[in-house]
């Protein structure tokens, strides 16, 4: 019998809440974290709204000492360290002693682009002939694996410590990588998650592609509209989410709180063939990913009662719902409850999957399905497939049993993970 893997710790640094308490409250209440960004107006962006975690200096001081803060100019690392350390603490785990690493604990913490502001600062210094002023942390802040290296040093993890990167699929993919390593008996626990930098140098390319909404600069909270007929593009976001995965045996031995169980999942790519492109997923690949995730989890298609979709508030939302319906062979009133959290936080890019998995698991804890905001006008093509009451506009009471979470990323890459409310069988 393969090892069972559970989630015992959660941490989050998101546009709509920093820390589990504030984050959970915003999800329950439908409180948006999307706001007007003066910097984007100054730089003449078409879309001048975004989701960005609000951090107070006294909060940052709890995670970084004055020496660590000197020259620290990588927002993704700040978000990732905060979320990762919170998840570790939430799981009731301690840092390894200074003399010896914790050989059984590892880190798989992903990102898309890291330290872009630090990289820009470094280029300016180098071009100005001031290379010696770069500081000793410039390399760590600008390498993709800087976030896993930083967390690995803080926590003293001696198992695999690495960074994955698969665009918007990164966080969900990382959970499955951690799950597979624990199932294989190669680690007892893994801190997994993902982070994304904030700012114009991350979001500018998307603005140039004209795929961000530009009609909501004076009305930011209504800008991100997943599954809506009036959806006009995704709102860029940033932040980090983190989860501690460990073997059920170890979790029970130490009396850990369990948020849910990871039953299995799947990753694949559409190869940018057929309907798949760099920016749009191949529908056949999406359907195969969902079906393979169900098979990996050892469940039936009818067992899933909640879907947390990728659903970014673009014209592809209806196609995603069509793919879920085809893969699960379910429609109308038989379709699972479905939600998207991007109306509340925007699309947090590489951090999206991990932040949304944290939110999805909180639904188990609270016995609720969080509502979808800004989709009063559900897209008519979606209503041809799903009954309107399967898309709750406000948070509802519902004790989910099995939840499917999927992410579909830039480059035609896909990941789907299946969570179950914990049952001590």
What gap in Å lies between CA 3 and CA 249, rounded to an integer? 8
Number of domains the chain contains: 1
Helix 20-29 vs helix 352-366: crossing angle, to nearest 10: 80
User: Mean pLDDT throughout 232-260?
Assistant: 98
Dihedral (CA of 136, 139, 140, 142) sign: positive
Mean local confidence (pLDDT), 336-350: 98
Residue 133 scores a pLDDT above 90 = no
Residues 6+ away with beta carbon under 8 Å from 19 = 12, 13, 86
- Model-wide pTM > 0.85: yes
Quote the pLDDT of residue 231: 97
**Phi (first) and psi of residue 89, to 5 degrees:** -65, -40
Element (H, E) at 414: strand 413-420
* Token representation of residue 229: 């007929």
161-172 pLDDT tens trace: 999 999 999 999
Range of the domain at 205: 1-425
For 20-41, the pLDDT digits (tens) are 999 999 999 999 999 999 999 9
Cβ atoms within 10 A of the Cβ of 59, count? 14
Dist. CA 142–CA 149, nearest whole Å: 12
Distance of alpha carbon 263 from alpha carbon 364, whole angstroms:
15
pLDDT score recorded for residue 423: 83
> 327: domain CATH number?
3.40.47.10
Which tokens belong to 338? 């479905």
Residue 399's pLDDT is what? Answer: 97
- Could you give the CA distance from residue 72 to residue 187 in angstroms, rounded to a whole number? 31
What pLDDT sits at residue 258?
A: 98
Percentage with pLDDT > 90 across the chain: 91
Total Cβ atoms within 10 A of residue 21: 9
Mean of all residue pLDDT scores within the chain: 96
pLDDT attached to residue 2? 84
Euclidean distance between CA atoms 54 and 17, whole angstroms: 8
Report the pLDDT averaged over residues 205-218.
Answer: 96
Q: Other C-beta atoms within 10 Å of 343: how many?
A: 28
Other C-beta atoms within 10 Å of 414: how many? Answer: 31
């Amino acid at each position: 019998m393969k090892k069972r893997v559970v989630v015992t710790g959660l941490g989050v640094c998101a546009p709509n809440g920093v820390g589990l308490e504030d984050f959970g409250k915003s999800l329950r209440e439908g409180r948006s974290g999307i706001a007007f960004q003066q910097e984007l107006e100054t730089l003449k962006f078409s879309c001048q709204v975004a989701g960005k975690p609000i951090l107070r200096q006294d909060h940052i001081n709890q995670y970084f000492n004055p020496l660590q803060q000197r020259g620290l100019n990588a927002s993704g690392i700040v978000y990732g360290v905060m979320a990762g350390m919170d998840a570790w603490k939430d799981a009731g785990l301690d840092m390894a002693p200074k003399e010896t690493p914790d050989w059984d604990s590892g880190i798989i913490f992903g990102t898309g682009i890291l330290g872009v502001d630090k990289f820009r600062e470094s280029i300016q210094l180098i071009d100005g002939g001031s290379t010696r002023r770069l500081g000793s942390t410039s390399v760590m802040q600008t390498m993709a694996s800087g976030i896993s290296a930083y967390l690995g040093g803080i926590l003293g993890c001696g198992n695999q410590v690495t960074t994955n990167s698969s665009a918007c699929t990164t966080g969900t993919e990382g959970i499955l990588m951690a799950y597979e390593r624990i199932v294989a008996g190669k680690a007892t626990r893994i801190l997994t998650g993902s982070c994304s930098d904030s700012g114009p140098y991350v979001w500018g390319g998307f603005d140039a592609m004209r795929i961000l909404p530009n009609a909501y600069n004076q009305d930011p909270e209504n800008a991100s509209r997943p599954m809506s007929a009036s959806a006009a593009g995704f709102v860029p976001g940033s932040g980090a989410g983190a989860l501690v995965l460990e073997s059920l045996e170890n979790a029970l031995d130490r009396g850990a709180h369990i948020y849910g169980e990871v039953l299995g999942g799947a990753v694949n790519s559409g190869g940018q063939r057929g309907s798949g492109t760099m920016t749009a997923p191949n529908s056949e690949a999406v359907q195969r990913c969902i079906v393979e995730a169900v098979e990996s989890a050892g469940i039936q298609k009818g067992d899933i009662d909640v879907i947390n979709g990728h659903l970014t508030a673009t014209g592809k939302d209806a196609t995603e719902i069509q793919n879920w319906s085809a893969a699960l062979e379910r429609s109308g009133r038989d379709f699972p409850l479905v939600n998207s959290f991007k109306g509340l936080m925007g699309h947090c890019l590489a951090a999206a999957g991990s932040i949304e998995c944290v939110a999805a698991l909180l639904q188990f804890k609270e016995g609720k399905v969080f509502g979808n905001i800004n989709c009063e006008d559900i897209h008519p093509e979606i209503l041809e497939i799903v009954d309107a009451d399967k898309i709750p506009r406000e948070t509802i009471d519902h004790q989910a049993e099995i939840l499917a979470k999927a992410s579909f990323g830039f480059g035609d890459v896909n990941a789907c993970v299946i969570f179950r409310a914990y049952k001590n069988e």
